[in-house]
């Protein structure tokens, strides 16, 4: 029996990167995990991989959080009467970088819609069962750039900073129901998103990290799973900075 046996987690953006690492760690510790992702083939591979490795119950939910119909279908799926989640990890996110002077409104709106508004809607769909049970844990994946700013990413930074405000407000709203809400702010982590950074930008950022290296998804997953564990029952409204000291 693992630490999370008997619990069920919903993880958005769960088919790769940080979300996949969180799902794998939870599954290895007995948790049932439901992964949400927009690419059906990649999602199925991820579900099968975790299931084969851990023997846990794993399910995929296909959802493009930037598409209204796809998101609405997913919301109906996770709101079914026979479903309840003890854990929610809002991890899904996209970047559409550009300087503010050149940024199109569509770039701004798309990032806000996926990174912030979808997280609000998914959280709202999951919360009623948590409130009824008077227990649950929500972890929102923000970013270290939400704390320090980053040129060329005003839309992404604003969406992730909004996630911090959402975390703290929600923590105050539902703490009396026995539900904790926290955020994790990763720094430069080895993911598909950061793999697209130009080598010069990547090297420059790495040189600013006191630990002198890029982080791993598993290291972020360890922080997320701590906040989901019983060891963090008296922690809420906090932002856990996992950036190797990039911001302090």
125-162 confidence digits (pLDDT tens):
999 999 999 999 999 999 999 999 999 999 999 999 99
Q: Among residues 173, 137, 194, which one has the least CA distance to residue 11?
A: 137
Which residue range is the domain that position 108 belongs to? Answer: 8-242
More confident residue, 225 or 206: 225
Which segments within the chain are labelled E, that is strand? 8-12, 32-37, 58-62, 87-90, 136-141, 179-186, 239-242
Q: Looking at the domain assignment, is residue 2 inside a domain?
A: no
Q: Looking at the domain assignment, is residue 183 inside a domain?
A: yes
Q: Looking at the domain assignment, is residue 126 inside a domain?
A: yes
Exposed/middle/buried for residue 99 (C-beta within 10 Å: 0-12, 13-18, 19+): exposed
pLDDT of residue 83: 87
Rounded mean pLDDT, 200-217: 88
pLDDT tens for each residue of 220-235: 999 999 999 999 999 9
CATH number of the CATH domain containing 108? 3.40.50.720
Contact 240, 164 (CB under 8 A): no
Q: Is the pLDDT of residue 3 over 70?
A: yes
pLDDT of residue 158: 98
Q: Looking at the domain assignment, is residue 3 inside a domain?
A: no
Contact 37, 74 (CB under 8 A): no
Q: Looking at the domain assignment, is residue 248 inside a domain?
A: no
Looking at the structure of the chain, the number of domains it has is: 1
Catalogue the active-site residues.
156
Average per-residue pLDDT for the chain:
95
Q: Looking at the domain assignment, is residue 247 inside a domain?
A: no
Tokens (6 digits) for 51? 């299931």
């Amino acid at each position: 029996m693992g630490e999370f046996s008997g619990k069920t987690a919903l993880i958005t953006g769960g088919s790769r990167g940080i979300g996949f690492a969180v799902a794998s760690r939870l599954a290895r510790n007995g948790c049932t995990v439901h992964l949400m992702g927009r690419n059906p083939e990649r999602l199925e591979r991820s579900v099968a991989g975790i299931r084969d490795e851990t023997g846990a119950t794993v399910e995929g939910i296909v959802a493009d959080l930037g598409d209204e119909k796809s998101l609405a279908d997913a919301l109906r799926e996770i709101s079914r009467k026979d479903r309840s989640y003890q854990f929610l990890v809002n991890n899904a996110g996209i970047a559409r970088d550009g300087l503010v002077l050149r940024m199109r409104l569509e770039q701004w709106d798309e990032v806000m819609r996926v990174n912030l508004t979808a997280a609000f809607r998914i959280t709202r769909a999951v919360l009623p069962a948590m409130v009824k049970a008077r227990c649950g844990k929500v972890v929102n994946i923000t970013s270290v750039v939400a704390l320090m700013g980053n040129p060329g990413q005003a839309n992404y930074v604003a969406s992730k900073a909004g996630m911090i405000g959402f975390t703290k407000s929600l923590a105050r709203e539902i703490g009396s129901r026995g539900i904790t809400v926290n955020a994790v702010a990763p720094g430069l982590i080895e993911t598909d998103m950061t793999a697209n950074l130009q080598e010069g930008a990547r090297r420059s950022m790495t040189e600013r990290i006191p630990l002198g290296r890029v982080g791993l998804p598993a290291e972020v997953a360890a922080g997320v799973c701590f906040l989901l564990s019983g060891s963090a029952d008296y922690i809420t409204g906090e932002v856990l900075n996992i950036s190797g000291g990039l911001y302090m």
